[in-house]
Structure formats: C-alpha cells, structure tokens
Structure 1
Amino acid sequence: MLTLQDVVYAHPNQDILFDGLSLIVNKHDKIALVGNNGTGKSTLLQILAGRLSPTGGHIQVQGEPYLVPQVFGQFNQYSVAAALGIAQKLEALQQILAGEATEENLNLLDNDWTLEERCQMALARWELSDIDLSQKMETLSGGQKTKVFLAGIEVHRPELVLLDEPSNHLDAKSRNLLYEYIQSTKNALVVVSHDRALLKLLHTVCELNRHGLTVYGGHYDFYAEQKDLASNAFAQDVKNKEKALRKAKEIEREALERQQKLDARGKKKQEKAGMPTIVMNGLRNSAERSTAQMKGIHAEKVGAIRQELQQLRQSQPQTDKMKLDLDHAGLHKGKTLLKAQSVNLNRNGQWLWNEPINLQLNSGDRMAIKGSNGSGKTTLIRLVLGELQPEQGTLERTPIKAIYIDQDYSLINNELSVYEQAQYFNTGLLQEHEIKIRLNRFLFGKNDWDKPCLALSGGEKMRLMLCALTIAQQAPDLIVLDEPTNNLDLQNIAILTTAINEYNGTLLVVSHDEYFLEQVNVAETVQL
C-alpha cells in the first residue's frame, strides 16, 4: 500500500531534517509514529500525503491517502466544505440538480452522486449534525474543527488514513468516538500522537529520531517496555564504565606507589654498597625512565576509559540529565483552601451549570475537573483562582500562592529571553551562575540563554516553566494545570509527570488525558 525507501528531507536552508527513512505500510496496518518534538513527524505525514516532496529517496503509494491535520486555526478562512476539499464537487452537484448538467460540472462531480448524503451522515457520526457545509471554520471550536476532518474520512473513503495528533482538543466523549473508529476501521492507519490511550490501540510503534526510523513490533506498552530496558541497560553501562574508571585510577595509584618504594629501596642499597656516582646516576636515570613509561601506560588506560565514559554521557538521553528539585509547599496537609457551596454563574439569562457546584479543596489534594467542551471548566478555574465571583451560592477562599499553567504556557513572556524569563522568577536572589546552572539542568545550554521565548516549542516552554518554579524561593501552594499535555511529546509528558509527582502541594488538573491523570495520582474528580 505504501513504501518508503531511503527517504531524505531537507529544509530550504539545506539543513537535513531526516534521512535514510524506510517503511512499509500494508493493508489494515495500524502504525503509531512517535518521537520528540522537532524530529519531523508532521513533515513525514505531509510527505506521505503527497503535500510535500522529499529531497531524496523513493515513495510508492497505492491510492490517495487522506490526512487529518493538526488544527491550529490555519483553516479559519475556509468553509467546512472547502476545508474538506469538496467545495467544487458540491457546487457542481447543486448546479447539475438545478438543471446545469454541463460537461465541466459532470467531470467535477465524477459520478459521486451520494456526496451530500455521505457528508451529512459523516458529520452526524461525529456529533456535528448542526454544522452546515458552507459554515466558516473560524466559527467552530478546536474540537469541532478536528471532528470535521475526522468526518472527512467517511466522505473521501480512503484506504490509507494519516492522523496528526487527532485527540488534541477533543473532550472525553469525542475521544471515545475516535478510539472506537481506530479499533473498528479496516483502513490502514499511520498516527502521530502522544495520547497513550490511543497509542495502545495501534499494532506497531515506529520511533522517529535523529538516527532514523526504528520499528518496534508491538503496541505502545511493548514499546515503553523496550525503551525502559534500553534506558536501564544504558544506565548500567554508564555505572560499569564509572566503576572501571575508578578501578583504573586505583591501579595506577598503587602501581606508582610500589614503584616509588622500589626506587627508594634500590637507592638506599646503592648508597650502602658505595657505588660510584656515575653508576648511581645511570641506575637512577634508568629507574626514572621505567617509572615514566609505567605512568604513560596507566595514563593511556585511564584516558581511554575516561573518553569512553564521556562519549557514553554525551549520548545519554536528555531526560536522564535533568535534575528536578521542586521546593515543598508551605501549607500543612488537610488545610481547607477553598469551599464552594451551590455556586453558579448566569450567562445570557441562563445558569452556566444545570446543577450548582459544590466543591471543597484541601491542601495536598490532587483533583481533576472533567467535562465536555463548553461545560465551564475554565470558568470554574477562574472562580478557584479568585478571578471571578459567583452569582449564586457562597465561595470561601484561603489566601494562598497559586500558579496557573495553561496549555499555551501563557506565564512565559514571549518578549523575554530564556535567561531573562528565568531571572524574572528569581525571588530568592540567586546569583547569575546559579540561575544558569538551573537552566542547564532543564536542558537550556549556553546557546539557549539569549534565545527569545517566542521561539520555544510547547515542550521547551513547559521545561522553562518548571525551571522557573525551582528558581522561585517558595513553591506555590496550588498548581492548576489546564490541558497540560496537549502540546507535548511523550518525552516532555514524562518530564512533566516526574516533576508533578515530586511536588507535594495541591494540584488541580483539567485534562482529558486519563493516562496522565492516573500517572500523577489524581484521587478526586469534579464532573461538570
């Protein structure tokens, strides 16, 4: 169905994004394409879809693949029909039905007489029955835009479907519809995703990294297990090499000490024997040459092991180099931070929630807010943070230090450099070198310090946000995460998960990512 052979892609500036990629996709294959941000996953999907041409290599495709793209608002000026690529066909159909059965219209329609009915059925399947095909995409929510393209699968009826982060922006109900499609479809699938629940539904995982494309013959759990085994083996290799270096240094020291004792003993014997000075000088020079030769041999061994260890450390996975040390929150566990009784707000003459909200948040709690898109999750967060006041019921808050981290990491000021942003959070008056040490821990090296925050990816902004929390003198009493995994790859989700699990304060999370909620030990849920 699809074959890639030694595919290369270079940016217009000739920088190589990836090369030597080979892959075979057969009928009914369901393949997950994973990898860190920036490795070229979306670019590869664009190449598979025929929207980009590779710089080198060969691609063979049977039929025309259908791509469900990531939605960022780039389709806002299109109608739904135009975004689906069927606007001209629909117009031709309508003109034919109105009596204009011209050759041009008939060619455009290409005997696709069921197109309009198929569109309505597909939109209904994805719960978009109220969407008109002439409606502008900008009037839709992010989740609705994604579902429009998912509906396009049934409209176009391809054999190969390419999905780029399809669960982003979808609420729990829509995600379940997506999972059902993936499980039941006979289409061949290539899916880029960080959604672990979705990844577990796919049969094969392919990882794209700087070394190329690695195929793992199993679903996500098998892939994760193999990565853990490789990580543990790598850590053991480093440990063994460190041990070998210590042993080599010890042998070097002991050998030199023995040689020095032998030399001293030999000198005393020579002096007692009353040897001529010229003979003694010759013996001393010989001993010094022997000692120098032995030093050189041991230094060469130590140097070789040290170089091997350095090479190992340079190839160490970036996440393993990170040092997470979030400070402890200052409040004792169990202290009531917020108590809401029968809380509601009025929107255009109607109450926002059918049932008023009752909620108690205590210090140390880990709580999730769940609900469909438009159910008022962000509004409830604003109530919790004191940015809104209820129009019904009572809300009691304890003055606390809270930090709100949304999916766009809006706390990061795009006008600042990476170093300036870190310095902004420096309430503890750390020295410049201490700030830079912290930045290094979060994988921001010397070349990144002057980089504008505007140029950072979602994952980089997340790491900078975590770094800022470690720089601040006191950790917040409450961290609020709003869809924190939406723009992160698997590596950065793992970093975020580790950091949150080290934090001992109160956590409030809005997320449709059930796997993430489980990993950060969320114990309570508010369902809107």
Structure 2
Amino acid sequence: MSSALTLTSLSFTWPDATPVLDGLDTAFGPGRTGLVGVNGSGKSTLLKLIAGELTPTGGTVRVSGEVGYLPQNVTLDTALRVDEVLGIAARRAALHAIEAGDACEEHFETLGDDWDVEERALAALGELGLGRVGLDRTVGELSGGESVLLRLAALLLRRPDVLLLDEPTNNLDLYARRRLYAAVESWPGVLIVVSHDRELLELVDRIADLRSGAITWYGGGFTAYEEALTVEQEAAERMVRVAEADFRKQKRELTDAQVKLARRKRYGQKMWDQTREPKIVMGARKRAAQVSAGKHRIMHEEKLAEARERLDEAVEAVRDDDEIRVELPYTAVPPGREVLTLRNLELAHGARVDGLFELRGPERIALVGRNGAGKTTLLRTIAGDLAPVAGEARAQVPLRFLPQRLDVLDGGLTVAENVARFAPDVTGNRIRARLARFLFRGARADQPVATLSGGERFRATLAALMLAEPAPQLLMLDEPTNNLDMASVRRLVSALESYEGALLVASHDLPFLDSLGITRWLLLEEGVLRETSPGELHEEA
C-alpha cells in the first residue's frame, strides 16, 4: 500500500510550552482511516498540522496531492452565497455571460472545460440532501447542520487527494448523518476521520489509535478495534499478574538471602571469637565471605530491580481510564412527582407544544428531530433563557441546563473557582472532594478553564451543573456528545446512570440515547412535539 501522507519526526508544542506530539513517525495510505484517542491526545491538532493550519515545531508533513479539510467547528460568513462556498461562483458567472452572448475570451478562460459546473454542483448538493438549496441562497438561510453539509459538498466537488474530517457528524440530524455515511463509504481516495460516532467509525478500513504521542494501528472498523483492544488488555492484565508474582518471589528470595547472610555473619563472628585457626587464615576467610555475601546481595537486588521494572512496564500497558462517579444528595424524584409542565406552548421561530405535556417522576426523555426543528429553542425556553411567544413552560423542581456551546463557565477562572460560583456556600475542601469524582484531582482542579480540551471542558461544565446547590432534580442536556471521544461518552453515561433525577436530552446520537435507559421518546417535527419510538426513527432515517 503506497503512502499518500507521511509524517516524519513530527513534533508540536503550544506557545505555553504544553507538548502535544514529540517525534511522531507514521504514514497514511489509500482508504478510510478512523483516528481515535482520548480528549487532549492531539487528534484535532494532528489534522490541523496535516492541513497546514498549524506549523510543526519539528519534523515534516509530506502529502501526495491536494488536502481537503473539514474542521470540527464550521464557521461560514452568513453573507456568502452557496456557489461561493462551493468555489464555483466565478465559473458560474462566466458560464451565464457566455450563454447571454458575451464571447469575451476571459470568460472562456475562467470556465475552461467545466461546462457542466452547475449540474455537478447541484448533484453534489443532492447527494447530501441539499437538493432544495439553490446556488444563489446565502449561508445565513441555512441551519448549522446544513452549513456542515455545504462545506462537505464543497470538498466533494473539489475531490482532494486527501480528505480530513474532524467530528463531521456534530450537529447533524439522523437524516443528514445517513447522507454523510454514504459519502464517506464511497470516497475513492485517502480519508482520515476523527469522530466519536460509532456508526461512522464502522465504515473505515482501519483504526489509528493516538495515545501518548504514538499511533497504534488496527485493521477493520470500530468493533474490530474494540475486540482487538480487549484481547490486548486481557493479555496485559495477565502480564501484570505474572510480573507481580515474580516481583513477590524476588522479594522473598532477597529476604531469604539476607537471613542466610546474617546467619553466616554470626557464625563467622563466633568462629573469629573462638580463634580456633590462625588470625591470618580467619581474616582471609572473613574477607572472602564478605565479598561473596556482597555479590550474592547485589545479584538478588538486581533481580528484584529487574522484576520491578517488568512490573512497571506491564502496568503501563494496561489502560486505566477512570470513570466519573456522581453521588448527589436530594436528587431522587419519587414516581408521580410533577417535574415539568408545558401547556399550549408556542416558541420563537414557530415550533409549538399543543395541549398539555407533563414530565413526572425520574423519567428519562429523549428529544429528537431534524436540524432547525426547534429542539434547542424548546430547552432554552424551559430553562428560562427565552420567553415563550404564548402558553406556559413551568418546572416544579430545581433544574440545570447544559447548552451545546458549553458557555456556562468563565474561561479566566479555574475549574474549582467555577464550581464555587454555582455552590457559594460549599467549602473549598468539599468542592475539591466532589471534583475528584469528575477526575479533576489535585492540581487539575486549579487549571484555568480556557486551557482545557473539549472533553475536559465538557466534564468541568457537567461538574459545575451537577454540583450546584440546590442539586438539580431536572437535568437538561443539548447534544452532550458533540466533541466527546468514546472514553468521555462512556464517562458521561456512567455519570448519568447514577443520577436519580429527571433527565431531558436532545441528541442525534441514537446509540448514546439507547445507553441512557430512555423511558419516553419525543419527536419535534414540522413545528409540533409528539411521542415516537426508536424504531420509527431508524425507519425514517
């Protein structure tokens, strides 16, 4: 397999001296590669280095051909027309001028042989479900998910030799995800995708696991990767047990040797005291015994040190991904307790809730729907961030809302200081004890929020909301798995499993929702909220 992308001794350090990569050597060949790793391991940084958006501190990036890059956070000028985003505005203008009878040579030079430029552009949009989006519309008229698909359509139209996708399914609804999956599956060149979307990662040919600045390769999709990792970890844990047993054995042997040497020393001293042999002979024997004892002790100490080193190496090979643990007081909601009431609710932008909707007891509700349907508007209205146009949205218990943009925290304050804002009456020691359950231990609790990775920032925001007082009995989450790696998603699920209040989650990530033990599914469709089921969602998608 020839390499289209080669990284040689690649290093990168942030301006504040935080190292990300140090001497990475690897190559990416034709086909689809899923790049995985925990938050903060450097996945997005690596894609930016390949795309040329960051300059390496050391080493080289060598690419065969053109690179196309879809960043994690797509920001487009809302005044741009669709054809400008697609990069075909000049050719369209030249084509229209020629068709209108303007035979200026400059138009022919601009157009070249691309006479079907509009047809190809509309076909690319159609493949991604944007067929109704005209080439003359502006970005400001599109939803966030449509903007992501539009940027992807521009890349499909260019057909770069190497395509880089960073969390491409963020903000995409179920229908848009299916179109993205089809585009990825049919991609003919080199593709590297960073994603927490399991379904997308099942489509790749191989997995590249970025951990501690090095890449380990696994063949197949994400399931094959997990199976291989399980086998590796079982073998690593067996090696730890073997190394521990060897270490204990070497400690016993060293202790036994020390006891024997002590006995010999006492015996030698006794013989010296009794002076049964000439002093010169006794002195020679004593010196020989001391040399022999020294060698014996050194040999056992070396064996013990080697056993300790083997044990340390074995322990290092075992992945130790801590899980979030949440034990909140006063969050339990008894069955039948009124938690939330929506009555004849009309929202900004036209969505509505007809009649009466009630959330009672510790229910777990999934809120799903297409991009732009109004899910975020509904949650913000319930949270009190937006006023309803008409009707009522009333929560009968303390609630907290985790927004998509994670803008709840002050970037200039530390993690501990941010949590203290939400729980002003709690002592610093109690805050730190609670933060340790969210994996912010010791000095990590004193990190400024602005320096955290996406997954760490999410964890800090979740900690601040969950540890707030009074403890929330209704927790609302808006697309919580955006930008989270697999380990962070597992930690989030672990946290929510031990949460005893009511839960309302808006998400396009069906596997994540399935893992939460959802009791009711609500679909916001064509401006109306109604009950649905996961089976219906899969069929429609």
TM-score by length of 2: 0.78
| 1:370 Cα deviation from its structure 2 partner | 0.8
Match of 1:227 in 2: 229
Which deviates more from structure 2 when the two are superposed, residues 469-478 or residues 206-215?
469-478
Query: Aligned letter for 2:201?
Result: L
Match of 2:303 in 1: 301
Match of 1:60 in 2: 64
Q: Counterparts of 1:139 and 1:328 in 2: how far apart (Å)?
A: 43
Residues 467-486 of structure 1: pairs in structure 2 closer than 5 A = 468=464, 476-486=472-482
User: For residues 332 and 235 of structure 1, do their structure 2 counterparts lie closer, same or farther at Cα, with a shift above 3 Å needed?
Assistant: farther
User: For residues 335 and 289 of structure 1, do their structure 2 counterparts lie closer, same or farther at Cα, with a shift above 3 Å needed?
Assistant: farther
Q: Counterparts of 1:473 and 1:497 in 2: how far apart (Å)?
A: 22
Query: Aligned letter for 1:526?
Result: L
Q: Is the 8 A contact 1:32 1:205 kept in 2?
A: yes
Matched, 1:497 2:493: yes
Which deviates more from structure 2 when the two are superposed, residues 47-56 or residues 246-255?
47-56
For 1:235-263, what per-residue CA distance to the aligned partner results, in whole angstroms no more than 9, with x for missing partners? Answer: 33334433433443344445545655676
Match of 1:362 in 2: 361
Q: Counterparts of 2:245 and 2:463 in 1: how far apart (Å)?
A: 32
Identity %: 30
Q: Is the 8 A contact 1:336 1:398 kept in 2?
A: no
User: For residues 268 and 474 of structure 1, do their structure 2 counterparts lie closer, same or farther at Cα, with a shift above 3 Å needed?
Assistant: farther
| 1:129 Cα deviation from its structure 2 partner | 4.8
| 1:195 Cα deviation from its structure 2 partner | 0.9
| 1:148 Cα deviation from its structure 2 partner | 0.9
Which deviates more from structure 2 when the two are superposed, residues 516-525 or residues 497-506?
497-506
Which deviates more from structure 2 when the two are superposed, residues 153-162 or residues 353-362?
153-162
Query: Aligned letter for 2:358?
Result: L
Query: Aligned letter for 2:239?
Result: D
Q: Counterparts of 1:32 and 1:523 in 2: how far apart (Å)?
A: 33
Q: Is the 8 A contact 1:417 1:453 kept in 2?
A: yes
| 1:469 Cα deviation from its structure 2 partner | 6.9
Choose the corresponding residue for 2:114, options 112, 131, 139. Answer: 112
| 1:85 Cα deviation from its structure 2 partner | 1.7
User: For residues 325 and 30 of structure 1, do their structure 2 counterparts lie closer, same or farther at Cα, with a shift above 3 Å needed?
Assistant: closer
SS across alignment from 1:214: strand
Q: Counterparts of 1:472 and 1:245 in 2: how far apart (Å)?
A: 46
Match of 2:341 in 1: 340
Q: Counterparts of 1:243 and 1:468 in 2: how far apart (Å)?
A: 43
| 1:222 Cα deviation from its structure 2 partner | 0.3
Match of 1:507 in 2: 503
Q: Counterparts of 1:80 and 1:72 in 2: how far apart (Å)?
A: 15
Residues 99-498 of structure 1: pairs in structure 2 closer than 5 A = 99-129=101-131, 131-152=133-154, 155-156=157-158, 161-183=163-185, 189-257=191-259, 260=262, 295-313=297-315, 317=319, 320=320, 322=322, 324-330=324-330, 331=332, 333-340=334-341, 342-347=343-348, 352-353=351-352, 355-356=354-355, 358-363=357-362, 365-385=363-383, 397-400=395-398, 402-421=399-418, 424=421, 428-431=426-429, 435=432, 442=439, 446=443, 451-465=447-461, 468=464, 476-498=472-494
Q: Counterparts of 2:269 and 2:470 in 1: how far apart (Å)?
A: 65
Query: Aligned letter for 2:175?
Result: K
Match of 1:23 in 2: 28
Q: Counterparts of 2:279 and 2:336 in 1: how far apart (Å)?
A: 88
Q: Is the 8 A contact 1:3 1:23 kept in 2?
A: yes
User: For residues 238 and 341 of structure 1, do their structure 2 counterparts lie closer, same or farther at Cα, with a shift above 3 Å needed?
Assistant: same
SS across alignment from 2:504: strand
| 1:511 Cα deviation from its structure 2 partner | 0.9
For 1:439-485, what per-residue CA distance to the aligned partner results, in whole angstroms no more than 9, with x for missing partners? Answer: 59726674x56542122221121233455578778864333221111
For 1:90-122, what per-residue CA distance to the aligned partner results, in whole angstroms no more than 9, with x for missing partners? Answer: 222223233333222211111212212333344
Q: Counterparts of 1:440 and 1:285 in 2: how far apart (Å)?
A: 59
Q: Is the 8 A contact 2:143 2:372 kept in 1?
A: no
Q: Counterparts of 1:268 and 1:469 in 2: how far apart (Å)?
A: 74
Q: Counterparts of 2:53 and 2:400 in 1: how far apart (Å)?
A: 41
User: For residues 332 and 262 of structure 1, do their structure 2 counterparts lie closer, same or farther at Cα, with a shift above 3 Å needed?
Assistant: farther
Query: Aligned letter for 1:399?
Result: V
For 1:363-404, what per-residue CA distance to the aligned partner results, in whole angstroms no more than 9, with x for missing partners? Answer: 2x332111112222223324544556767666664333x332
| 1:201 Cα deviation from its structure 2 partner | 2.3
Q: Counterparts of 1:388 and 1:277 in 2: how far apart (Å)?
A: 103
| 1:73 Cα deviation from its structure 2 partner | 1.6
Query: Aligned letter for 2:26?
Result: L
Q: Counterparts of 2:420 and 2:304 in 1: how far apart (Å)?
A: 41
Unaligned runs of 5+ in 1: none
Match of 1:4 in 2: 5
User: For residues 300 and 30 of structure 1, do their structure 2 counterparts lie closer, same or farther at Cα, with a shift above 3 Å needed?
Assistant: closer
For 1:263-318, what per-residue CA distance to the aligned partner results, in whole angstroms no more than 9, with x for missing partners? Answer: 668878998x7979989x9799988877666554444433333344445555654x
Choose the corresponding residue for 1:79, options 81, 95, 99. Answer: 81
Q: Is the 8 A contact 1:95 1:105 kept in 2?
A: yes
SS across alignment from 1:431: helix
Q: Counterparts of 2:26 and 2:474 in 1: how far apart (Å)?
A: 45
What's the C-alpha RMSD, in Å, of the aligned pairs?
Answer: 4.3
For 1:179-199, what per-residue CA distance to the aligned partner results, in whole angstroms no more than 9, with x for missing partners? Answer: 233345656644332211111
For 1:150-184, what per-residue CA distance to the aligned partner results, in whole angstroms no more than 9, with x for missing partners? Answer: 33355445676543322111112211222233345
Q: Is the 8 A contact 1:407 1:484 kept in 2?
A: yes
Matched, 1:516 2:483: no
Q: Is the 8 A contact 2:402 2:465 kept in 1?
A: no
Which deviates more from structure 2 when the two are superposed, residues 209-218 or residues 518-527?
209-218
Query: Aligned letter for 1:340?
Result: T
Q: Counterparts of 1:153 and 1:203 in 2: how far apart (Å)?
A: 21
| 1:327 Cα deviation from its structure 2 partner | 1.0
Q: Counterparts of 2:278 and 2:328 in 1: how far apart (Å)?
A: 72
Q: Counterparts of 1:202 and 1:90 in 2: how far apart (Å)?
A: 35
Q: Counterparts of 2:182 and 2:75 in 1: how far apart (Å)?
A: 26
Q: Counterparts of 2:256 and 2:34 in 1: how far apart (Å)?
A: 55
For 1:212-234, what per-residue CA distance to the aligned partner results, in whole angstroms no more than 9, with x for missing partners? Answer: 44332211110121122223333
